[in-house]
Amino acid sequence: METDPKFFDTPGGVVGQPLDRVDGREKVTGKARYSAEFPLPGLLYAVLATSPIAKGRVLSIDAAVATREPGVVAVLTHLNMPRLARTPNTPEAKKDTSAPMMFMPLTTDEIFYANQPVALVLADTWERAKHAATLLDVKYQAAAPVAAYTHPKAELFDPLAVQDGKQPGHTSRGDAQAAMASAPVKLSGTFTHPVYHHNPMETGSTTAHWEAPDRLTVYESTQGVTRTQTSLSKMLGLPREQVRVVTKYLGGGFGCKGSCWPHTVLTVQAAKAVGRPVKLMLTRQQQFTSMGHREDQTQTLALGASRDGKLLSLIHRKTSTTSPWDNYAEPNSRVINLLYACPNFEAKYDMARANVMTSTFTRAPGEAPGSFAIETLLDDLAHELNLDPLEIRLRNYADKDYSVDKPWSSKSLKQCYARGAELIGWSKRNPRPGATRDGRYLLGLGMATATYPVHNSQGTARVRLYADGHAVVQSGATDLGTGTYTVMTQVAADALGLPPDKVRFELGDTTLPTAPNSGGSVAAGTVSSSIFMAVQDVWAKLIKQAAADKKSPLFQAKAEDVEVVKGRLQLKKSPAKGENFAELMNRAQLTDVEGLAQGKYGAGYETGLAASPADSGHKDDKAGHSMHSFGAHFCEVRVDQELGIARVTRWVSVIGAGRILNAKTARSQIIGGAVFGIGSVLMEETIRDQRYARYTNADLAGYHIPVNADIPDMTVEFVEEKDPYINAMGVKGIGEISTVGVAAAVANAIFNATGKRVRSLPITPEKLM
Ligand code: MOS
């Protein structure tokens, strides 16, 4: 890695700099090992055979022909797969095992969803396993499936009755019904969202290696090695430390790699059954039925407002599809409840069981679809009242979090609005829809607000500083590909006063200090704070050492009088008095010093102490703060009237998310989230056939995601924001705010261009013709 001396000339100088990725060279040269790239001796390849029917029963599986094929070692089915110590097929076992789904394939002959695994074929090569899987003769007894909540046979139910009041369910504040009834202006919209799939570049993969009958190492494509360890150790009935989970590189995840899914468990069990290491990598098609999805859903949002555009009431309903066992729905109402100053709010969810696997969190779960409803309906209100969309947002600006009645820890939304408007040229926007034309194209400008919570989370890091001036820093976090390796190296280098190339950051292993899932946008803040605090632990030890060392200029100094600047321990009042850590350590014959610390949510900035207590994470804690990042997306679209094709031609995102750890990787992450959102609004959609409950387009030929030609140059800026409450580094996280509001900004621009308000996603050409 190249290091520019200017980055570490001053304390704090490295953090925030656009450092190149420390793992960039490994990745582009193919040296980076992903979870399916560990060549273990005796490794077998596993291929899933899956059910073509979505409901029914396996009557028989004849594996005789498949088993006779050269290289085939085993065919494992529900009849011969080793049993788990704990199967997540009850609510208690699901909770205990942190399983994403209350069902494990190959434990029964019953079929609940299309492409449910019915066998695992093991062979000495992938090709042989794949071929043998096609030779299985499986007989089914098929029943008519329910395909979705929209299916004629679907039965809606209120999940509150079975979920002890946990989300999804009812939320209410004030009297939304009465306020709606008396509101001078009323608007509502019904929004439909298709099934979306995460589709990371690297599909789900597992390499399972039993090193001893009771000791397992799994190379797993997961966003959380600890959570996977929890699931596997509970299901296998092994002590946690006998299950090691390793994830050195991850090719994306978007939430689908946030849990331990059945294919991982089956691979581990298969390796146990044959006594050899086994590797499974989902095919792209199998990815669509193995690791969850964003559920198909309909939202209805009604608003009541005053004539000057102030929100008086919001009433939200959501209906979605869930699996035969679980009550999962992403919590859309949360963002609608807190985005604006609205005194009355009510939300209720319904769901229906269908023959699908359980859906799961997908980048900004809840906030992404929820923001589409509130942010497009607010645009309608602006239009209705002849107000500028930005003005209507300012009139409803939430100066506190009304959903929990707490002050914000920080909020830079007004700056984001102002800067975004300036960059896109908002003042030139023609408010009249369909009135701006350039040849065959209709042009429109749109915008939307973005927000994402800072979720409660804590992690641990260890720092080992060597007297020779290098350091190894460790935390069991994962890097989704977004830059964790790089930003954590920067944070450590900065705190230690070392050049970044003298710091090695290790992650992705349960043998390292425990870190949370890289999900919910928590990794950057939690892990960086853990590292920062662990370095403070190192300094505290060395300051103590110096104070006890007669030869040190700091002999008998009080800890509170000593500061550390770029690795030099010195007196705050007379900085000339002090010495570098290396001198001190060499004199004491210390090869290294270790620091360990936990970075905590709500633990304040700089010294780890904020001016007042932060949010404890409890909903009813009125003393604390509500912690959110905020931002605004602005865009221009061009709609080809004859072909109905909408293209995003200009893009601006301005985000306030606390401290930004690396300007380059942060910009990339916002761009990635915006592209993710543009995909969701203009092209992505998985179609589930209503009769067979099968996906008809489960591959990247049929499931369209944006390519370079679909995306313009994007402008991303961050508002400088110092939040004293969030965590030791003041980092809010940017993984998810990047995509919140994006779909609405595009839909609003399309409305401005064409006068067409499309509430059914994605906005494909036929909807604009
Ligand atoms: Mo994500 S949906 O925060 O893994």
CA of 733 to the centre of ligand 1 (A): 12
Taking the C-alpha atoms of residue 651 and residue 664, their distance in angstroms, rounded to an integer, is: 17
What would the two tokens of residue 92 be? Answer: 């208690």
- SS (HEC) of 95-163: HHCCCCCCCCCCCCCEECCCCCEEEEEEECCHHHHHHHHHCCEEEEEECCCCCCCCCCCCCEECCHHHH
Q: Which atom of ligand 1 is nearest to the CA of 256?
A: 4
What would the two tokens of residue 742 be? Answer: 């994006």
Pocket test for ligand 1, best of 197, 328, 363, 739 (most atoms within 8 A of CB): 363
Which residues share a beta bridge with 634? 447, 652
Q: What single letter denotes the amino acid at residue 223?
A: Q
Q: Which residues of 595-627 are buried (b: 16+ CB within 10 A; e: fewer)?
A: bbbbbbbbbbbeebebeeebbeeeeeeeebbbb
User: What is the value of ipTM here, to two decimals?
Assistant: 0.97
pLDDT at residue number 181:
98
Strands 215-220 and 205-212: antiparallel
Cβ 120 vs Cβ 49: under 8 Å: yes
Taking the C-alpha atoms of residue 360 and residue 669, their distance in angstroms, rounded to an integer, is: 21
CA of 211 to the centre of ligand 1 (A): 32
CA of 253 to the centre of ligand 1 (A): 8
Taking the C-alpha atoms of residue 386 and residue 741, their distance in angstroms, rounded to an integer, is: 22
Residue 455's nearest CA partner among 226, 736, 225 is 736
CA of 740 to the centre of ligand 1 (A): 13
The torsion defined by the Cα of 334, 340, 344 and 345, in degrees rounded to 10, comes to: -20
CA of 176 to the centre of ligand 1 (A): 31
Q: Which atom of ligand 1 is nearest to the CA of 520?
A: 3
Cβ 315 vs Cβ 180: under 8 Å: yes
In whole numbers, what is the pLDDT of the chain averaged over residues? 94
Q: What single letter denotes the amino acid at residue 251?
A: G
Cβ 468 vs Cβ 586: under 8 Å: no
Pocket test for ligand 1, best of 361, 367, 522, 680 (most atoms within 8 A of CB): 361
pLDDT at residue number 393:
98
pLDDT at residue number 624:
83
pLDDT at residue number 158:
86
pLDDT at residue number 725:
86
Taking the C-alpha atoms of residue 672 and residue 705, their distance in angstroms, rounded to an integer, is: 12
Which residues share a beta bridge with 249? 34
Q: Which residues of the chain are under the pLDDT cut of 50?
A: 1-9, 162-165, 606-622
Pocket test for ligand 1, best of 254, 293, 330, 526 (most atoms within 8 A of CB): 254
| Per-residue pLDDT tens digits for 54-94 | 999 999 999 999 999 999 999 999 999 999 999 999 999 99
Please, which residues have CB within 8 angstroms of residue 399's CB and are 6 or more apart in sequence? 341
pLDDT at residue number 192:
98
Strands 311-322 and 345-353: parallel
Active centre residues (catalytic): 736
Q: Which atom of ligand 1 is nearest to the CA of 364?
A: 2
Q: What is the DSSP string of 289-350?
A: TTS--BPPEEEEEEEEE-TTS-EEEEEEEEEEEE-SS------THHHHHHSB--S-EEEEEE
What H or E segment, with its residue span, contains residue 718?
strand 714-718
pLDDT at residue number 11:
52
Q: Is the Cα torsion angle 284, 289, 295, 296 positive or negative in sign?
A: positive
CA of 460 to the centre of ligand 1 (A): 20
DSSP letter at 198?
Answer: -
Which residues share a beta bridge with 506? 474
CA of 283 to the centre of ligand 1 (A): 22
pLDDT at residue number 168:
55
What would the two tokens of residue 253 be? Answer: 């995840």
**Shortest-distance Cα residue to atom 4 of ligand 1:** 255
Domains of the chain with CATH codes: 5-32+458-600 (3.30.365.10), 37-362 (3.90.1170.50), 366-375+406-455+623-768 (3.30.365.10)
Cβ 441 vs Cβ 640: under 8 Å: yes
- The phi, psi pair for 486, rounded to 5°, reads -75, -50
| Per-residue pLDDT tens digits for 393-424 | 999 999 999 998 999 999 999 999 999 999 99
Q: Which residues of 480-491 are buried (b: 16+ CB within 10 A; e: fewer)?
A: bbbbbbbbbbbb
CA of 418 to the centre of ligand 1 (A): 29
Q: Which atom of ligand 1 is nearest to the CA of 361?
A: 2
Taking the C-alpha atoms of residue 330 and residue 364, their distance in angstroms, rounded to an integer, is: 9
Grouping H, G, I as helix, E, B as strand and the rest as coil, residue 581 is helix
CA of 250 to the centre of ligand 1 (A): 14
Q: What single letter denotes the amino acid at residue 77?
A: T
The torsion defined by the Cα of 681, 684, 690 and 695, in degrees rounded to 10, comes to: -160
Q: What single letter denotes the amino acid at residue 306?
A: S
Residues flanking ligand 1, CB < 6 Å: 223, 255, 258, 361-363, 365, 519-520, 736
CA of 339 to the centre of ligand 1 (A): 20
Q: Which atom of ligand 1 is nearest to the CA of 360?
A: 2
